[in-house]
Structure 1
Amino acid sequence: MMKDDLTIWHIHGLELPLDIEDADTVEKYEAALAQLEQNMPADKSGGTAAYIRAYCKAFRTLYDTLFGDGTAEQIFAGISDNARQYTVVYGEFLTFVAKQAAQAQEAQRQLQKKYLPKGGRR
């Protein structure tokens, strides 16, 4: 089965497949997000620079977990540990996932509209 463009995250010249309608993928995605939450530094008690490095490392782990080892290195090639830039990439990732989810929901709605009886009849 060919992946459509909606399941490919385009980031910094990469094409990374992620199909959130596939149970195995969703299981991996949910585990990676839980791991991200666990890996996030709790506070800046170790210093701001250490906090930023841990923050960025948490995101690199997320992308390597989801897309394979070395993916984060490719995504962030030429980008130092910069919290703002890592946050921007994460925002783009979440936007990609949200668009895919919305499209799946709309496709389901269109099927129901087309094939289910109107007026609540069964």
Structure 2
Amino acid sequence: MICAAFRLVLDLGDHPTPARPALFATWTARYRDLAARAATEGHLRPGTDTRTLTAAVVTTAFGSRVLARNPDAVADLPHRMTQAWQLLLPAVTDPAALEYFYQFALRREPHRTAPPP
């Protein structure tokens, strides 16, 4: 989802109109919905603020893309986001589900099959 969002912004541009909100705003709203769903389904630690989590994920993804600066570096985004999830997941995820979410994140990155040491 992250790579696709950046491809849309880079290839199509982000030119909002009254009929079409900014892609970044739409993306942020979608992540907010996903964080709320994770909380409702019991996947987040009690007390995790979903707005703070959304801001952290969007900022991390956007920052990773800005640091790349080169459209060809978009291919490295899955690896950088896997690293970010390895830091974020233990802080926000129910410990009983941590291994599952590590595996879910790793499936997004080619040639990785094990959680961090």
Q: Same fold (TM over 0.5)?
A: no
Q: Report the structure number with the largest CA radius of gyration.
A: 1
Q: What is the TM-score when the length of structure 2 is the normalising length?
A: 0.32
Q: What is the TM-score when the length of structure 1 is the normalising length?
A: 0.31
The structure with the largest strand share of the pair is 1
